[in-house]
Amino acid sequence: MTRDNLSNVGAEMIRLVDIHKEFDGVTVLDRINLSIAKNEFVTLLGPSGCGKTTMLRIIGGFESATTGDVLFDGERINDIPAYQRKVNTVFQRYALFPHLNVFENIAFGLRIAKKDVKEIRDKVQSALELVEMLGFEKRTIQSLSGGQQQRVAIARAVVNEPKVLLLDEPLAALDLKLRKEMQLELKNMQKQLGITFVFVTHDQEEALTMSDTVVVMKEGIIQQIGSPINVYNEPTNIFVADFIGESIILEGRYLEHCMVEFAGQKFPCVDIDFAPMEQVDVVIRPEDVDIADDPAEGVLQAKVSSVVFKGVHYEMLAETDDGLEWMIHSTTMAPIGQVIGMSIKPDNIHLMKKETKGPEVTAS
């Protein structure tokens, strides 16, 4: 669980120390240790029920940890209630106030803080400008589309100039195209505002697109912390490899320095942290399998069993003689039934310490 070098990220903003959380005796967060820097875009990524939202709610002050500490700018804030924390949240289904119009929704926090009328007007104005919603001041919440409500929710949070913005699956309710646009906009907003974003999602693509740092979680435990490139290329275990992107996971054996055996063949590789004859899990991304029409050109031979056109690439399944099914992403197509040659470059073979039982082949 190491983190790699991060650019434009400042000193520590939030630190979670040994957070443990139980609901009615059921552990939802276990031994959570996480440091989030100023100006960092951190994504908590994991399947539903992995504890990522609970973690966000602990930072926001809506839940308290059973044991462990939350530090904010170096100070312990366990006992500071939500309404006194310098964080703001964009909620999952926006949680806008339906009895107030757009202007009053955004002005809510400023009014509570008893800012004067002119300041409120100016700040709401610039928040609306940030989310490109100028002219919507008098509109009711019910008259807005999902995407517009989303923008109002973001404006309502950032208008208070929080040091940290928490976002709880804010894009989940939007359609695909709008979601992609908002991903880029949010990333730009974060740079423009110069504040820390803690973003919760179950969408691995979203996490990779936006984040400086991705925190992969499963069943209340952090699996890996790293940059998007780091968690994609060097997953620490089968779960991360499988959850982030698509992968082929094979049983293998480390033979000697930079040499591994799997699928009945020897492959040169670049990993060196293993002992000779150690059992390992081998991760190969479908786009890293090079295919050739001539079976003899490949290290492995397989028979194509399915081809699906995906736009940029073809997604193919090919079966080797020993019954292993390989998923291949390639821009060139081999027809069903053809026997192809497959090879993998040394730096595209990622080895992981063995953690589970029997042989397992995952092709999706």
Partner 1 sequence: MRAILKKCYLWLIFIFLYAPILVLILFSFNVSRSRGNWGGLSLRWYGELFQDRAIMTALGNTVLIALVAAAVSAAVGTVAAVGIYRLKGWKKSFVMNITYLPILNPDIVIGISMMILFIAMSFPRGMASLIVSHITFGLPYGVISVLPKLAQLDPQIFDAALDLGATPREAYFKVILPQILPGVFTGFLLAFTMSVDDFVVSFFVTGNGVANLAISIYSMSRRGINPKINAVLTLLFIAVAAMMYLIQRRLRKSSREAV
Q: Write the binding mask 35 to 74 for partner 1: x where contact by CB under 8 A, - elsewhere.
A: -------------------------xxx------------
Determine how many CB atoms are found less than 10 A away from the CB of residue 166.
Answer: 25
Distances (CA, A) of 75 to 14, 156, 314: 9, 26, 52
CB of 17 to partner 1, least distance (A): 23
Binding flag, residue 23, partner 1 (CB under 8 A): no
Quote the CA–CA distance of 104 and 106 in Å, as a whole number: 5
Binding piece for partner 1, criterion CB under 8 A, among 3-11, 76-84, 245-253, 345-353: 76-84
Find out whether 210 and 187 touch, Cβ atoms under 8 Å. Answer: yes
Binding flag, residue 98, partner 1 (CB under 8 A): yes
Binding flag, residue 95, partner 1 (CB under 8 A): yes
CB of 81 to partner 1, least distance (A): 7
Residue type, 2: T
SS3 (DSSP) at 134: coil
- Residue linked to tokens 């150690």: 278
Binding flag, residue 194, partner 1 (CB under 8 A): no
Quote the CA–CA distance of 139 and 14 in Å, as a whole number: 36
Binding flag, residue 157, partner 1 (CB under 8 A): yes
CB of 56 to partner 1, least distance (A): 11
SS3 (DSSP) at 120: helix
Binding flag, residue 79, partner 1 (CB under 8 A): no
Find out whether 255 and 276 touch, Cβ atoms under 8 Å. Answer: yes
Binding flag, residue 81, partner 1 (CB under 8 A): yes
Q: Which of 46, 109, 220, 245 binds partner 1 (CB under 8 A)?
A: 109
SS3 (DSSP) at 206: helix
CB of 117 to partner 1, least distance (A): 17
Chain positions contacting partner 1, by CB under 8 A: 60-62, 81-84, 87-89, 91-93, 95-99, 108-109, 112-113, 156-157, 160
